[in-house]
Structure 1
Amino acid sequence: MKKIAISIGDINGIGIEIALKSHKKISKLCKPVYFVDDEILSAASKILKIEIPKDFKNKNIKKHLSKEFRDSIKNKDCKLINPAKITKESGEYSFTSLKCALDSVIQKQNDALLTLPIHKKAWNLAGIDYVGHTDFLSHYFNDSGIMMLGCKKMFVALFSDHIPLSKVASKIEFESLCNFFERFYKSFKCKKALVLGLNPHAGDGGVLGNEDKIINKAIEYTNKKLNKNIFFGAISPDVAFSEENRKKYQVFIAMYHDQGLIPLKALYFEESINITLGLPILRSSVDHGVAFDIAYQNKAKTKSYLNALDFLIKN
């Protein structure tokens, strides 16, 4: 069975609940290793009233934390978990868990990385400059990871992900698009993918913008280079996810974050996953956030987590 390193995510969110709830099921499919300290795990278990399984293998990471945080863990009167609160401590902890889990995969101690949700503001408060998992992994490996989200019914890859909408148009460059298409195909061997234009009506032949002409040229060039027609479009974004198109295509490529993820999450929010392509390691994640609105209320659903694990096991 594969060994899967699991970073625990924001300890004030639903990550630990999902891990505890799902352990019995996933331990039959793989060997999970959770990067979380005994003290944090015990505190969460008491709040949730969920027992820690006897075979729940966790790796303590406190030696990698700041002295301030290590001291708080030693202080038995200190409240280690603050449900639904954005804190610098939870930001530091989730980032440290991620780094330790990643290191274990790089060192071949584990086969793949599964990440539970973090809170970007908590990272910011902790002085962590990355805007999420994909951004950190891209910087770590000095190579841009490709963010793809979805499920068996529909996957959406993002040409640009966590950048302001005002900067998207300037990113639409011929060479960048060609490089993206090639890297995507090498990382995820799909038979075909539908590419969305940037502007309404995919620019209407230049009436509503010229970026879509560049996208079309990049599609044509890449297909010729691959010697097969893999990429189709650019299609008007407002009809890209029609029922008819979803029957024809399983894979879609969006030019920016919300363009692709709004329809995906409207259709398959509870079962879709987040995958980082184009990296030397295999990584997947749940496709939802920390869910502070239900944190530590025993309401968290596990379908996305189980699907993310299933992807790692089968790839």
Structure 2
Amino acid sequence: MRVRPFSSKSRALGLISLAVLCAGSFAGAGSATAAAPVAAHHGAKPIDRQAGPAARAQVTSGQAVSNTLSVGSAGTQGVVAPKPKVYLVFWGSQWSKDPAGVAPDLQNMFKGLYGSKDTWGTILDQYCEGVAKGTSNCGSSGTHVTHPSSTPLAGAWFDNAAAAPASATAAQIAAEATKAAAHFGNTTQAPNLNAQYVVVSATGTHPDGFPSSGFCAWHDFTTSSYGKLAYTNLPYVPDTGAGGCTTFTDGRLLSGLESTETHEYAETVTDFWPSIGWNGSNGEIGDECENLDAYVTLSTGTFDLQGLWSNSANKCVTKG
């Protein structure tokens, strides 16, 4: 999750007991009718809340921090997303206005996150599932995250038939993710073992209290009749102004959005159903490295991609 300062990056983590998260089990159904989604399965706020507004010192790429990530579960589902697929959901009729150009920017960024031009995404390849709980080095064992050979963007949907709630709750955001799964035809657990639904709210809205709740975005999972669904609450970050949710101070309005979403994307890939995936003493793969941003040129443009923790390098890095 990203609990970042809006003037720069910072995170206030709220980790929940794995015993609570892992209690019980779920058998995904194939029904085409969604059951009411359960968003607050932790009994509290979603686990990954990217930090809200507070000044942060920027670290340089390669600065070592003792934050080795390890696997929280020996399972083969929900630890990582081996073949990541991203579904962007632009929620509500309020998307008739997009003053910062968020919708085209997010689509262009994900269209470029693959192949040889994307050296940032290869950081994720070292992480896997299907290994012993507590593993910190997969080696050749388990099922690894596979660097995409084509865009991970599997779909974009403007759900604009009605207005989204002005101040959506976590449960309402989860319900929108469930609605998106149906829209994209992902109505069994199998496709949802790699799919993440990014619910993007429009300018002027306040999903889960943004920007007054101390986060830039968060990711979580919800339970539905389509299986467990990984989703992200991504507010309209440019509403915080240039410099919000990024360490860059060059006045570029979209940098914080890109940094925030790449943080959440990477954490969803490596901790798919929080919090049984990869975590360390300071949180998930993006949490330790919120002070590190880099402009990376992909085939579709140049974007602010947040640094990620690499176990193999034992430091925050911006390329694999």
Q: Which has the higher contact order (CA 8 A, sep 6+)?
A: 2
Higher relative helix content: 1
Scaled by the length of structure 1, the TM-score of the pair is 0.27
Structure whose alpha-carbon radius of gyration is higher: 1
Higher relative strand content: 2
